[in-house]
Amino acid sequence: MKTMLGIALAAALVVLTACGEVITPQPTTDMPLVDTSTPAPTPTLRPTATAPLLAPAAPATPTITPTPIIHVVQEGETVYSIAFDYGVSPEALQAVNGIENPQFLQVGQRLIIPIGEEATETTPGLLLPTPTPLPFEVQGVALFETPVGSLWCLGEIVNTTAFTLTNVQVRVTLFNGVGERLREADAFAAADLIPPGERSPFGILFTAPPPNWASTEVTIVRGEAAGALADSYVPIAVTEVEGQPSGSQFQVSGVVQNTSAEQAAGSVSVIVTTYDAQGVVTGFRQRMVESEGALAPGATAPFTLLFTYHGDVPTDFSVIALGRIPAE
Q: What is the DSSP string of 108-174?
A: T-EEEEP-GGGS----TTPPPPPSS----EEEEEEEEE-TTS-EEEEEEEE--SSS-EEEEEEEEEE
227: CB partners within 8 A, 6+ apart:
none
| H or E segment and range at residue 92 | helix 90-96
Closest of 110, 91, 64, 84 to residue 250, by C-alpha:
84
Structural domains of the chain sorted by starting position, each given as residue range(s) with its CATH number in brackets: 69-118 (3.10.350.10), 137-227 (2.60.40.10), 235-324 (2.60.40.10)
Q: C-alpha dihedral over 4, 8, 10, 16, to 10 degrees?
A: 180
Q: Supply the pLDDT for residue 18.
A: 41
| H or E segment and range at residue 243 | strand 236-246
Angstrom distance (rounded) from CA 304 to CA 241? 10
Q: Per-residue pLDDT for the chain (328 aa), expressed as one digit of tens each?
A: 444 444 443 444 443 344 434 344 444 444 333 343 444 444 434 343 333 444 454 554 444 445 678 888 886 677 777 877 777 777 788 888 888 766 567 888 889 888 765 554 444 444 445 555 667 899 999 999 998 899 999 999 999 999 999 989 999 999 999 999 999 999 899 999 999 999 999 999 999 999 999 999 999 998 989 988 888 999 999 999 999 999 889 999 999 999 999 999 999 999 999 999 999 999 999 999 998 889 999 999 999 999 999 999 999 999 999 999 987 6
Q: State the Cα angle at 250 between 248 and 251, rounded to 5°.
A: 130
Closest of 138, 132, 141, 133 to residue 158, by C-alpha:
138
Q: Supply the pLDDT for residue 118.
A: 52
Q: Supply the pLDDT for residue 284.
A: 96
Angstrom distance (rounded) from CA 239 to CA 256? 6
Angstrom distance (rounded) from CA 189 to CA 168? 6
| H or E segment and range at residue 244 | strand 236-246
Look at the chain and count its residues: 328
| H or E segment and range at residue 85 | helix 79-86
Q: Supply the pLDDT for residue 174.
A: 96
| pTM of the predicted structure, to 2 decimals | 0.63
Burial code (b: 16+ CB inside 10 Å, e: under 16) for 258-290 equals: bebeebbbbbbbbbbbbbbeeebbbbbbbbebe
- Exposed/middle/buried for 177, CB within 10 Å: 0-12, 13-18, 19+? exposed
Local structure of 49: helix, strand or coil? coil
Angstrom distance (rounded) from CA 319 to CA 191? 11
Angstrom distance (rounded) from CA 273 to CA 73? 22
What letter would DSSP give residue 265?
B
Please give, one letter per residue, the 3-state secondary structure of 194-241: ECCCCEEEEEEEECCCCCCCCEEEEEEEEEEECHHHHHHEECEEEEEE
Q: Supply the pLDDT for residue 260.
A: 95
Angstrom distance (rounded) from CA 136 to CA 200? 11
Burial code (b: 16+ CB inside 10 Å, e: under 16) for 14-35 equals: eeeeeeeeeeeeeeeeeeeeee
Q: Supply the pLDDT for residue 320.
A: 95
Instruction: Identify the sign of the CA torsion 189, 191, 195, 200.
Output: negative
